[in-house]
Amino acid sequence: MAVLRELLRDGKFTFAFTVMSILIILAILSFFSPYDMSIWNVVPRDMPPSAEYILGTNSKGQDVFWEMTVAIKNSLIMAVIAAFFSRLIAIAVGLLAGFKGGMTDRTLMSINDSFIVLPVLPILILLGAILKERLNMIVLGLILAIFGWAWDARLIRSQTLSLREREFTNTAMLSGQKVYELIFKEYLPFVIPIVSATAINNMFWAVGMEVTMAILGLSNLTIPTLGTMMHWAISYQAMLLGYWWWIATPVVVSVLLFVSLYLLSVSVSQYLDPRTRIQRIGTAKVVK
């Protein structure tokens, strides 16, 4: 809680935290939706926003507000899955390469660099075309996790290389401490801040990729996400026909999600930066 209070002093973090909290509340609200979003024509079509339909209805005969809540939930679930599993891969590769060094380091970094230079979007387009009907949020999250770990594994490796050269590592090894204990008890606490900051960036990237694939029609379009909402609105020419509420809803929500994730990443990175931490300590001493 003390960390949260300190972060909330930053205006960027406060704004991003507020927006993310609202989006999460909307995602939770989706569990109480009176409609099944896999069914079309359950409400009158193309109705503008009103007291009965807060964000209007679309040409598929669905309530845009409730579709939006389900879309936010699915997009966030996919992003969290992608971030979580890509962090596991990045931590494993980064710690092992940095600690072992030698041939292990060279082999893992060769694999790592191969993933960095891969043209991810064309590969995802190909996979989307092949797996389209089976591409649910879990599968898509896992696929994105496979391609989203490489840059962050290098950061973790760099931190581990630095830790390996410090005095406490030699002391621990000479005292007979086991390698896995050294990694989990001594190294992991230093790595967690990097993991936390990069996880937010990975969520940002995962949502962007899902939106791109959905707009191109290369994801499972029967599952409501922010991307599929845009796809159907574009397909039914919502802007041309004047159904602005249909296309505006996913666009505005996506922009808010991207901006809040970006600001969260910037704020957390600044908070974890040792230089800004020293400045905060110095400021606190001056105030006292």
CA distance 256 to 275: 30
What pLDDT is attached to residue 174? 66
**pLDDT tier at 134, thresholds 50, 70, 90:** confident
CA distance 152 to 161: 14
CA 267 vs. chain centroid, Å, equals: 16
Residue 122 has pLDDT above 80, yes or no: yes
What pLDDT is attached to residue 100? 82
What pLDDT is attached to residue 268? 80
* Angle, CA of 255, 256 and 262, to the nearest 5°: 90
Residue the block writes with tokens 């964000």: 55
Residue 195 has pLDDT above 70, yes or no: yes
Query: Quick one: which of 31, 75, 24, 33 has its CA closest to 54?
Result: 33
CA distance 58 to 238: 9
SS3 track for 119-148: CHHHHHHHHHHHHHHHCCHHHHHHHHHHHC
**pLDDT tier at 43, thresholds 50, 70, 90:** very high
Number of domains making up the chain? 1
What pLDDT is attached to residue 62? 94
Mean pLDDT of all residues in 62-71: 95
Q: pLDDT > 90: what percent of the chain?
A: 49
β partners of residue 63? 57
What pLDDT is attached to residue 286? 45
Residues in the chain: 288
Q: What is the mean pLDDT of the chain?
A: 86
Q: pLDDT > 70: what percent of the chain?
A: 91
Residue 120 has pLDDT above 50, yes or no: yes
pTM score, two decimals? 0.87
Tens-place pLDDT, residues 148-176: 999 889 888 888 888 877 777 777 766 77
Greatest mean pLDDT among 89-93, 193-197, 252-256 lies in 252-256
What pLDDT is attached to residue 284? 47
Domain extent for 149: 2-287
SS3 of 23, please? Answer: helix
**pLDDT tier at 27, thresholds 50, 70, 90:** very high
From residue 137, give the alpha-carbon distance in Å to each of 17, 148, 149, 157, 182. Answer: 24, 16, 18, 30, 36
The CATH number that applies at residue 151 is 1.10.3720.10
Residue 179 has pLDDT above 90, yes or no: no
What pLDDT is attached to residue 287? 45
